[in-house]
Structure 1
Amino acid sequence: MHITLDNPATAPRPLGPYSQVARVQLADGSALLYLSGQIADGADITAQSHGIFATLTALLEAHGAALADIINIRTFLTDMDDLPGYAAVRRTYLTGTPPTSTTVAVPRLFRPEALIEVDVVAALPAIEDRS
């Protein structure tokens, strides 16, 4: 097993001293990608959700992955009334079998204007297994 921490140049810079991606390369050639929680600018839940999925896409693509490779998604909302708006946006990006999921209400996030934060785990098969 080998772990690489990364802040891909193709994605927005992190807001603090942390890595946005931890790539865990497994002995069989497969890999797990752990993405840090992402927030985005925007006036409402729809805009912020679209921004988050754009950043998640960029982070995953920097490691040869796609949204379809997500196996777990965790969502933190400051207002559960925003869940339907987020869910509608999420369905436009995650169109296949849905990953495992946790959604939690929190009193506030790292940035006061953030309504939502999302982190994911993606799984990549060994290179010879990818189609």
Structure 2
Amino acid sequence: MVDAVNLPGVWAPFGAFSMAVIQGDGQVVHLKGQVSLDREGRVVGPNDMRLQVRKVLENIRNVLAAMGGQMTDVISLVHYATDIEAFMAAGDIRSEFFAAPYPVTTTVQVERLYRPELTVEITAIAEIPRSRFRRPGPATDAHHGSS
């Protein structure tokens, strides 16, 4: 069973996707690709890689926190960047959110993301220990549910 989760405090999905997916009895959490959007869906730091990397990682942290997770629970990341050099230059920002042992990562350069002012999208997989995990309450979004 997989439960789709959409959470308050993070921008609402606007298409056929969920903010996160909880696999099994709730330890493994798959987050959808996060972009630099605030709660109202506005782009934070248009065309600014450094500002966007920070906001994306804040969004990941907020989604995990809503389920009792922490950034140390992240086991895998996939980065999609429109400028790989600018993304790599933001490594100091990433180091503010992660400590050893670091999650496995894949980084690819893409031509563009779904909005031209977005420069980075990051997906994450986390394993939240059962002792901390809490299943979020029902979302108000129509995309919530099991599949």
Give TM-score, length-normalised by structure 1: 0.86
Q: What are structure 1's unaligned runs of at least 5 residues?
A: none
Structure 2 match to 1:73:
77
Corresponding residue for residue 68 of structure 2: 64
More strand by share: 1
Partner of 1:54: 58
CA offset at residue 88 of structure 1? Answer: 1.6
Unaligned runs of 5+ in 2: 37-43, 133-147
Q: After alignment, is 104-113 or 80-89 more displaced? A: 80-89
Structure 1 segments, 4+ long, off by >3 Å, are: none
Give the equivalent residue in structure 1 for 2:33: 37
Distance in 1 (CA, whole Å) between partners of 2:87 and 2:131 is 36
Shift of 1:45: 0.8
Paired residue total: 124
Cα distance in 2, alignment partners of residues 15 and 85 from structure 1: 31
AA matched with 1:16 = G
Question: How much has 1:80 moved relative to structure 2?
Answer: 1.4
Closer, same or farther in 2 for the Cα pair 1:91/1:15, shift >3 Å?
Answer: farther
Partner AA of 2:27 in structure 1: A
Query: Residues 41-83 of structure 1: CA distance to partner in whole angstroms, max 9, x if unpaired?
Result: 2141110011101111110011110111000011001111213
Separation (CA, whole Å) in 2 of partners of 1:116 and 1:62: 23
Tell me the CA shift for residue 13 of structure 1. 1.8
CA offsets 1:21-42 (integer angstroms, 9 cap, x no match): 101134xxx6100000011121
8 Å CA contact 1:45, 1:85 repeated in 2:
no
Q: In 2, distance between residues paired with 1:39 and 1:101? A: 17
Greater relative CO (CA pairs within 8 A, separation 6+)? 2
Task: Give the drift of 1:15.
Answer: 4.0
Q: Is the 8 A contact 2:50 2:87 kept in 1?
A: no
Which structure shows the bigger proportion of residues in helix conformation? 1
TM-score, reference length from structure 2:
0.78
Indicate conservation of the 8 Å contact 1:32/1:122, yes or no.
yes
Q: Percent identity?
A: 25
